[in-house]
Amino acid sequence: MKMKVNVMSVFIIVIFTAICVTSIALVTSIQEKNILHRVSRGGFSESAIQFMFTDPGTEDITELFDVIENQEQSNFALIHQIDYNLTEIYIKGKYNNPPMLSGRFLKETDFAKDKKYAVIGRNLLDYVVETDKGKKIEVEGAGLFKVIGVMGYKVDTQLDDMVVVNADSFNFYRQNSIYMIDAHSQEEENASLDIFNEISAKMGDGLVKMDIESEGTDRIISQIVSNTLIYGLLMLIFVVCSITISYEWINKQRRNIAVMRLIGWSNNRLRLTIYRSYFGFVFIGALLGIIIMRLYNGHFTSPKTLAVIIIVKILFGWLATIAPTKKMLAISVDEVMR
């Protein structure tokens, strides 16, 4: 015997569709803001250090490479943004590279090999040419570079129009250039600064540290906090609504429940039947919410995140039915029949 589908059943589906849509929207918003926060820093970590040569006339990139090559510390990158769309990078050890859509990013073994490698943004795919040695792209003033990967997020960012090349692949005149040391260390907060200080000492104090300006960082963080507060308020409203609807839904099932009890069903079996029917409506609501967000703008949310959201919604639905179920089963059969 199953619980009847009624108007309250539809309300349950609607309320849990709203909960799912709201949850996915919050996760998507936070992911977007995190991406914007990183992009606002040029894609670099919080500990990254910017620097330039004290005297532009003494700018010697070869000496800088030699110092890095003999550096005891590893797992960092020397980055030089040549212009808005072109960046050269020198990696030692491991590096937390930008997200890849295909292929791979540069690694330590790609350097000092007299090879020209490039990682490009997705908007530059039309500029890739096929050669007998694979896919290549023309870099102004440096010739053809072999394309080894395509980088970018699932939203439009400045990475989509960028080319990143291995820094030892070509030499050109550098003056007043700004460089960066980025360790992306999760273990040591000042890893980038320590590496810079050691390199600076070996360069004879020929380098000067600069500050990285992150435009809009405070605004992005405040937006995340505001969205979370709004989500919390909406969830509180949904909690009240779902509990109220749960009471009404179970109350509408009182005749069915009375019949089940008259024919000898135990309370545990009744609870199982009630929960199973309720969970079915919750699952339908969550599924509708996922479909709505996928059609709208839910491309950020991973399958793992969606699974967690569904599990949380089902658990939430179970908690919402505990009190009304307990109240209904506490009423005697005679009273329910009346």
Q: Return the closest-CA partner of residue 70 out of 246, 245, 195.
A: 195
pLDDT tens per residue across span 196-235 = 888 788 776 667 777 655 444 455 456 556 767 777 777 7
Residue in this structure with the two tokens 């609807």, named with its chain if needed: 245
Residue 143 has pLDDT above 90, yes or no: no
Q: Strands (DSSP E) along the chain, which ranges?
A: 49-53, 76-83, 86-92, 100-103, 117-121, 129-131, 134-139, 143-151, 163-166, 179-182, 207-210
Q: What is the pLDDT of residue 150?
A: 92
Q: Return the closest-CA partner of residue 42 out of 93, 74, 90, 80.
A: 80
**187 vs 199: CA distance, rounded Å:** 20
Q: What is the pLDDT of residue 330?
A: 73
Angle of helix 217-252 versus helix 7-40 axis, rounded to 10: 170
Mean pLDDT within 145-152:
90
CB-based burial, 232-248: b 16+ in 10 Å, e otherwise: eebbeebeebbbebbbb
Please give the residue that has the higher pLDDT: either 304 or 22. 22
Q: Are 201 and 233 in contact (CB under 8 A)?
A: no
Cα→Cα distances 53→200, 213, 263, 318, Å:
10, 19, 88, 63
pLDDT tens per residue across span 107-123 = 888 876 678 899 998 88
What pTM did the predictor assign?
Answer: 0.55
In which element (H, E) is residue 1 found?
none
Secondary structure (3-state) at 146 = strand
